[in-house]
Structure 1
Amino acid sequence: MHIRPATRADSADIAILDDIASSGLASHVLESGVRDGKYDRPLEFGRDGYAFIDGPYSWKNVLIAETADGIAGMSLSFELTGGLGDSGLPDPVLEPLEGLKAQAVGTRLIDSVAVYTRFRGQGIGRALVEAELARATGPSSIMTDSANARALSLYQSLGFEEQARAPLVAFSPNQTATQWVLLTRPAVYVCGAPASAH
């Protein structure tokens, strides 16, 4: 397995993996492109968005994990500046997430981490987060839902600490989580503890 920068040709996989990372939230948001008649399916809208729209949610901000069997996973991150470009599409379901983002301005947000089901259990998710941390020039942040114990454990093992929670507005009938969780990590981390400033 190796990790490489994404290319525009990876956009379909990125759209699928983003939907996996968000437990279907991406498809919910992308339904707007179907409702207005521009696209037949949400993931088609997502693919075109990643391929052709500049901004935080672009293939240019994605890392791809690849094995001999093809693409296994991806991660997407960008600097949170507090500007309009930080925000996703307007949607009431996203408002709590936008509020957490506002608390993490000045960090590099690891917005999405996902691994296809058949590649899980091989350390690919950890490798992607570590690669994201390696390209951060300052503190990092990441969010997940309160029911994702595996993700919370992984992020905490990599030095992230919980900073805030916000209510999760249901977007699927099968949801068990009730909150979004924001975790942050200092810029420099040495031997399992934040490095002292000099």
Structure 2
Amino acid sequence: MHIRPARRADSADIVILDDIASSGLASHVLQVGVSDGNYDRPLEFGRDGYAFIDGPFSWKNVLIAETDDGIAGMSLSFELIGGPGDQGLPDPVLEPLESLKSRAIGTRMIDSVAVYTRFRGQGIGRALVEAELARATGPSSIITDSANIRALALYQSLGFEQQDRAPFIAFNDNHAAAHWVLLTRPNLRGAPAPAH
């Protein structure tokens, strides 16, 4: 497995993995492209967004984990400077997330980390987060939901600490989370790596 910068041609995998990372929230948000009549499916709208729109949610901010069998996972991060460029599409479901993001301005926000199901358990998620930390020039932040125990444990093992919580507004019937959880980590360059 190796990690490389994404290419525009990876945009279909990126949007699928973003949907996996968000437990379907990406599809929910991207439904606006279908509602406007411009696209047949949310993931098609998302693919074009990642491929052709500059800004935080672009293929240019993505790292790809690749194996001999193809793309296994991805991570997306960007400098969280505040303002409308950092935000997703307007949606009340996203308001608690935007509130947490406002508490993390000045960090490198790791917005998404996902690994395809068949590649899980091989340390790919950890490697992606470590690669994101390596490209951060200051503190990092990440948001996950309170039901994602494996992700919370991974992030905490890499030095992230919980900073705040916000209510989880259900967007489908398949989620048991009660809160979104904001975790942050100082830039530890030169410090010993956290124990694995």
TM-score, scaled to structure 2 = 0.97
Amino acid aligned to 1:110: I
How far did residue 132 of structure 1 move?
0.1
Partner-residue secondary structure (3-state), 1:16? helix
Deviation >6 Å, runs of 4+: none
Separation in 2, partners of 1:60, 1:192: 27
Q: Say whether 1:32 aligns with 2:32.
A: yes
| Greater mean alpha carbon deviation, residues 82-91 or residues 133-142 | 82-91
Is there any run of 5+ residues in structure 2 with no aligned partner, and where? Answer: none
Partner-residue secondary structure (3-state), 1:50? helix
1:117-143: CA deviation from partner (whole Å, max 9, x where unpaired)? 000000000000000000000000001
Separation in 2, partners of 1:96, 1:50: 23
Which residue of the partner structure matches residue 133 of structure 1? 133
Aligned pairs for 1:27-176 within 5 A? 27-176=27-176
Separation in 1, partners of 2:61, 2:76: 6
TM-score, scaled to structure 1 = 0.96
1:95-130: CA deviation from partner (whole Å, max 9, x where unpaired)? 000000000000000000000000000000000000
How far did residue 83 of structure 1 move?
1.9
Amino acid aligned to 1:139: P
Count of aligned pairs between the two proteins: 193
Separation in 2, partners of 1:154, 1:25: 21
Amino acid aligned to 1:95: E
Partner-residue secondary structure (3-state), 2:114? strand
Separation in 2, partners of 1:192, 1:180: 27
How far did residue 192 of structure 1 move?
5.7
